[in-house]
Amino acid sequence: MRVDYRIEQALTLLWLPPAAAPLRRNELWRHTCCEAFIIPATGTAYREFNFSPSGSWAVYDFTDYRQSMTSPLLDTSPRIACRRDGDDLWLSAELPAALLPAGAARLGLCMIAETAAGDMSYWALTHAGARPDFHLAASFTLALP
């Protein structure tokens, strides 16, 4: 599976982390970061992916809404590519099938944007709650084939 993010005017409006080795790193959400949440058709467990414009990434498993977070051992990793188009940034993340949870059924896409002044904003296809909360299963609205 591949997910693509287009961040308009990213190069003029946002603070972007510098390029780094494509390694697993925690707390990517503290800065500009793209995220994807995948949940199976049954149950409450879900998987969270973090993709930094730096090339760093993270994967977390939850048993239920924000419960029992673990960092699974992986034999493979997401592949992240970024390209600039004028002031826009395109981030593509390829997820090998081995990274997808069994029975993956719905996807939530979101992004954390940090300005040069340190202000944060939270973007998603849907915010199901009163405040932005990417972990709400009701926000995982894209059906997977």
* DSSP line for 65-125: TTBS-B----SS--EEEEEEETTEEEEEEE--GGGSPTTEEEEEEEEEEEBTT--EEEEES
The pTM assigned to this predicted structure is: 0.95
What are the residue ranges spanned by the domains of the chain?
Answer: 2-143
For 55-114, what is each residue's pLDDT tens digit? 999 999 999 999 999 999 999 999 999 999 999 999 999 999 999 999 999 999 999 999
Judge whether residue 39 has pLDDT over 90. yes
Token pair 């609205």: residue: 141
Nearest-CA neighbor of 125 among 11, 2, 3, 1? 3
CATH architecture for the domain at 2-143: Sandwich (2.60)
- CA–CA separation, 57 and 93 (whole Å): 10
